[in-house]
Structure 1
Amino acid sequence: MTYFSRLLGAVSVAALSLSALPALASGTLVIASTQVPRHFNGAVQSGIATGLPSAQIFASPLRYDEDWTPQPYLAKSWEESADGLSLTLHLVDNATFHDGVPITSEDVAFSIMTIKENHPFKSMFAPVEAVETPDPLTAVIKLSQPHPALLLALSPALCPIIPKHVYGDGQDIKTHPANIKPVGSGPFMLDSYAQGDSIVLKKNPNFFLDGRPKLDEVIVRIIKDPSALLIAMENGDADMYPFMGGSQEIKRLEKADHIGIERDGGAAIGPINWLAFNTASPKLSDKRVRQAIAYAVDRNFIIKALHRGVSKPARGPIVEQSPFFNPDINPYDVDLDKAKALLAEAGYPDGMELTVDYIPGFKEQQQSVAEYLRSQLKKIGIAVTVRAAPDFPTWAGRVANHDFELTMDAVFNWGDPVIGVHRTYVSSNIRKGVIWSNTQSYANPRVDELLAQAAVERDFDKRKALYAEFQQIVVDDAPIYFLNQMPQMTAYDKKLVHVPDGIWGPLAPMDQLDWSE
């Protein structure tokens, strides 16, 4: 029995002003956030700004615990066909949308096909050919090939079930008015949204899981001033700060007696901070040059000094918390003599000049590292010019159009490698003009072959072996030098219980979150 078959079998059986707001009820949670969502429909929009409210407003077929084990949600059970070409979902019979309309298999089929056509993660449902609906509580997902990432793709961060009777009216799904006034089936309903200020979510009194949600209200206060956000947490005006990534804020809130820090939740998101090489550049086409740079960079200095110890090392394209991580890959421990020798072998005994870009707005993870590279690579004869971008679109335009030599970047794993990893390394995804595709112009036929095999392999151990070889090759070819996993911690009032600690962290439904008595 494969790893995923065992999982199937196991569960198939089974900054608005604080003073401007009214007094809060005891069952209210206040989340402080710097993220401003464009809308709330996670079926057509990726990212944590949309993902956090979307997971509260919409339910999904499955949910996941901290052990990477799928759990029932809208689907009470499921089974995979022997050939791996279909997955049958058996829905709960008591779920309704917030407007009272029952959820049926038609909504599941509509949602999955909508996500397939509109979500930026094209590989997520690429093998899905159709979703059959033999009865109102049965949805059968038909596949063109086995898809071992399918179960994870059905979880809250990636597969909100949206109402067909609302979204199936012929309007453009990406600009549909319901995106900003959503009708979902999750534990909370949108009460109000003051764009750029606050999101108010009220308890869904007809939620299909008995006794949930525990809270009466969730308010997301968007506080753009980092200092004001930290003060709100320290003063108790905010109860939770998810996706906390800066060392200063982490160190500061650690000192508050009433605040706890959840460090491990959200392993599936897997954000990696890295240095990318344009392998199409004549200066960087020889992997020995790229390896030389990797040996020159002191990852430990970046983590300990620049990030004050709050980051974790990243040695390869798959984060260490993933069941597919290969611990035997080359870590590129700093070795300046080896770096100089590799440069000389590649024809650059006197060094070279390079330009490095970085994502603006994330100084600690991006700009500070780029500036460190300028001083560190000078030690092996590489003169680095740091090129700033005035805003994110400018940086993204340069990188997407391959107008760079080196660039700092940050890319997420999104759970299964099929969803968030393949896109960076398969040669078929070298798509000029598309950010977070294979912007490195990296092409290795063996990598293409391994990833194609891993995308359909249903045996966990065999799949893990394919990814192990893939990681070895990519780290050796060095189209990217992997620096660190970006921290994404959750600060929370210690009186809260059941703070999200599963693989999706705060991108999971908060229906069990509550205040201790």
Structure 2
Amino acid sequence: MIFKPRRRKGRTAVAGLAALATLAAGCAASDTAEQPSEADSTLIVYTGQAGDWQINFNPFSPSTIEGPGTIFEPLFYFNMARNADPVPRLGTEFSWNDDGTVLTVKLRDNATFTDGTKFTAKDVVFTLDMVKKNKTINSTGYAGTAKAVDDTTVEITFATPSFSQGPQVLGRLWMVPQHLWSKIADPANDVIAEPVGTGPFALQDFKGQAFTLTSNPTYWDGEPAVKKIRYVSLSGNQAGADALAAGTIDWQTGPVPDIKNFEKNHPGYKAISVPLFQIALFTCSNTALGCSGPQTDPAVRKAIYHAINRAQLNSLAFEGTAGPISPGMALPDRDEQYLSPNLESEIAPNEADTATATALLEGAGYAKGGDGVYAKDGKPLAFSVLIPSGWTDYITAVDTMSQQLQAVGITLTSSQVSWNEWSAARGNGKFQMLIDSLYQGPAADPYYLYSYFYSTGSTAKVGESANPNFARVSDPAIDGALRELEKLSLTDVEARKPHFTAIQDRVQELMPYIPVLTNGTTSEYHDAKFTGWPTLDDLYAFPAVWQRPDHSQIYKSLKPAGQP
């Protein structure tokens, strides 16, 4: 089986806005020698970062602030927004043997790291070996054995058929330079303050309020037309919306008021919304791995699931842009052929079912106290939900759910913290609940979400860094079904169905990530300043500024307006 991919041709608001204006002015003032065309080719982006950046360009870290795709490249780019051929990056073609145990990858011979060192197969083998040896950074569950056949050929052997590992290895592992990383004692925790990669961009400068990537003049695919990317920190979503209104940022992914009339209200800008990621209440769920609190009880998690009024929540928090979500956490439309027939319903109820929620709690031994809150063994059902400060849509969502859950005797309190605190807690498991989204894998297939967020191999004990199974799920039935799926081709639908059914049945029963809604991910971008953005008719990449490496495909495709 030989595959030769086709290349695609070519969150206080006022204070935050003032800070951005200062940053933009400071950037211009410090670059007085720039030609106007170079200034026009500086892309200012806002990822939702509230509070100062903490330097971390380690592409394997769950707390990385940037790097995957822009500085460090994968072998291929896989589009999770649509079914499409992989796009070559550091690889040019790949092939499997007939039984899916050997993956052979051909590499390009014209790529160099930004320190001038040539990229070869030895760097790929080193990267894969490093990931395999370090569980914390092995978020894809890679278990192959790689060898360099020659400078431009790598052969990866698996102990069992591993077709499903292809998109993971090829599209979700970031190639690093052996000559530098071999000297790093702890690759899982080193912040890589001076990153060196093969990518289209390199780090120019870093400050807590903003950092800048600059185009790589020796990039194998030619220097990008976007010469600089300025990542700014604001105070949250409202500050992002204000910055868009003032024209001081060029791209953000997040909510804005009156989204239906956004383009009319923001001349020169456009918006795009793509439903893909599932919003959930993440719980530290597994007592065997050190989690503690009432949220470790599946009955409590399922009661919360049934007590949510999703129609009201969508209206108040997401302006009606969110979509339905399945209790089995497959996408209802994209993954329809794999939905388990044993689900209570294919999609979560739109209205609250307080009777079912109450029955679940009382059946599990909870009794309502005089304050109206259920408790067991003297422990009330009262939870703190971590949210990054400034994430206004999620803050509204949690506040709305808090009011809804009062009807079933559960107290939910939002706890706003910095993104850095939230990310650290998410990784080390020191939380009761937090709100976040589950992301998809490199291919348009539910296997990857389950392997990321529900596999024992991608989690850790509380206090250790999990990536990305933050709920600490460890279930033999799920692990076994994932192992069977790894052996099957992604095109063998009938053979895969029973394994997806087994996974979804356990996901529904355990519910470590409490399904909320499927996020209609909305981005706003400066179409009058840059051309080449993805559209619904041409989703060549998933258009979210924080989604890596998709954002790098977009950066590579953009051109300042007026350039041919």
TM-score category (smaller protein): 0.7 to 0.9
SS of alignment partner, residue 556 of structure 2: coil
Contact kept? 1:247, 1:307, Cα under 8 Å = no
Deviation at 1:137, TM superposition (A): 0.7
Which residue, 197, 201, 204 being the options, matches 2:213? 201
Partner amino acid for 2:400? Y
Separation in 1, partners of 2:420, 2:72: 30
Partner of 2:315: 304
1:361 counterpart = 2:384: no
Separation in 1, partners of 2:214, 2:249: 17
Partner of 1:20: 26
1:421 counterpart = 2:450: yes
Pairing 1:26-45 to 2, within 5 Å after superposition: 26=38, 28-33=41-46, 34-35=48-49, 36=53, 38-42=55-59, 44-45=60-61
Deviation at 1:140, TM superposition (A): 1.0
1:55 counterpart = 2:69: yes
- Structure 2 gap segments, 5+ residues each: 9-19, 29-33, 369-373
Which range moves more in the overlay, 10-19 or 142-151? Answer: 10-19
Pairing 1:202-221 to 2, within 5 Å after superposition: 202-209=214-221, 212-221=222-231
1:246 counterpart = 2:255: yes
Contact kept? 1:356, 1:407, Cα under 8 Å = yes
Separation in 2, partners of 1:449, 1:465: 12
Which range moves more in the overlay, 413-422 or 193-202? Answer: 413-422
SS of alignment partner, residue 378 of structure 1: helix
1:133 counterpart = 2:133: no
SS of alignment partner, residue 320 of structure 1: coil
Which range moves more in the overlay, 254-263 or 85-94? Answer: 254-263
1:453 counterpart = 2:466: no
Separation in 2, partners of 1:249, 1:20: 31
Pairing 1:46-445 to 2, within 5 Å after superposition: 46=62, 49-50=65-66, 53-65=67-79, 66-69=81-84, 70-118=86-134, 120-128=136-144, 130-154=145-169, 158-169=172-183, 172-173=186-187, 179-190=192-203, 192-209=204-221, 212-226=222-236, 229-241=240-252, 244-248=253-257, 253-254=262-263, 255-264=265-274, 267=276, 270=277, 272-274=279-281, 276=283, 278=285, 287=298, 290-316=301-327, 318=329, 320=331, 324=335, 326-327=338-339, 329=343, 330=345, 331-333=347-349, 334-348=352-366, 350=368, 351-352=374-375, 353-362=380-389, 364=392, 366-380=394-408, 382-384=409-411, 386=413, 388=415, 407-415=433-441, 420-422=449-451, 424-426=453-455, 429=459, 431-434=461-464, 444-445=475-476
Deviation at 1:74, TM superposition (A): 1.5
Deviation at 1:195, TM superposition (A): 1.8
* Cα distance change, pair 49–264 in 1 and its aligned pair in 2 (3 A): farther
- Structure 1 gap segments, 5+ residues each: none
- What is the TM-score when the length of structure 1 is the normalising length? 0.81
Pairing 1:461-476 to 2, within 5 Å after superposition: 461=493, 462-476=495-509
Deviation at 1:106, TM superposition (A): 0.8
Contact kept? 1:396, 1:435, Cα under 8 Å = no
Contact kept? 1:276, 1:440, Cα under 8 Å = yes
| Alpha-carbon displacement from aligned partner over 1:97-121 (angstroms, at most 9, x marks no partner) | 2233322111111222233344745
| Alpha-carbon displacement from aligned partner over 1:349-373 (angstroms, at most 9, x marks no partner) | 7554401121132554554444434
Separation in 2, partners of 1:401, 1:108: 29
Contact kept? 2:405, 2:412, Cα under 8 Å = no
Partner amino acid for 2:82? D
Contact kept? 2:95, 2:105, Cα under 8 Å = yes
Separation in 2, partners of 1:204, 1:396: 30
Contact kept? 1:46, 1:120, Cα under 8 Å = no
* Cα distance change, pair 435–367 in 1 and its aligned pair in 2 (3 A): farther
- What is the TM-score when the length of structure 2 is the normalising length? 0.75
* Cα distance change, pair 332–348 in 1 and its aligned pair in 2 (3 A): farther
* Cα distance change, pair 276–204 in 1 and its aligned pair in 2 (3 A): closer
CA RMSD of aligned residues (A): 3.8
Contact kept? 1:203, 1:216, Cα under 8 Å = yes
Contact kept? 1:278, 1:402, Cα under 8 Å = no
* Cα distance change, pair 73–121 in 1 and its aligned pair in 2 (3 A): same
Separation in 2, partners of 1:230, 1:389: 19
Separation in 2, partners of 1:175, 1:275: 23
Contact kept? 1:291, 1:478, Cα under 8 Å = yes
* Cα distance change, pair 86–516 in 1 and its aligned pair in 2 (3 A): same
* Cα distance change, pair 28–431 in 1 and its aligned pair in 2 (3 A): same
Which range moves more in the overlay, 62-71 or 276-285? Answer: 276-285
* Cα distance change, pair 503–148 in 1 and its aligned pair in 2 (3 A): farther
SS of alignment partner, residue 77 of structure 1: strand
Deviation at 1:147, TM superposition (A): 2.9
* Cα distance change, pair 115–31 in 1 and its aligned pair in 2 (3 A): farther
Deviation at 1:62, TM superposition (A): 0.5
* Cα distance change, pair 452–336 in 1 and its aligned pair in 2 (3 A): same
Separation in 2, partners of 1:321, 1:12: 30
Partner of 1:9: 3
Separation in 1, partners of 2:395, 2:73: 38
1:493 counterpart = 2:526: yes
Separation in 1, partners of 2:302, 2:230: 44
Partner amino acid for 1:377? L
Number of residues paired by the alignment? 495
1:484 counterpart = 2:517: yes
* Cα distance change, pair 317–355 in 1 and its aligned pair in 2 (3 A): same
Amino-acid identity (%): 19
Separation in 2, partners of 1:13, 1:228: 38
Separation in 2, partners of 1:64, 1:354: 42
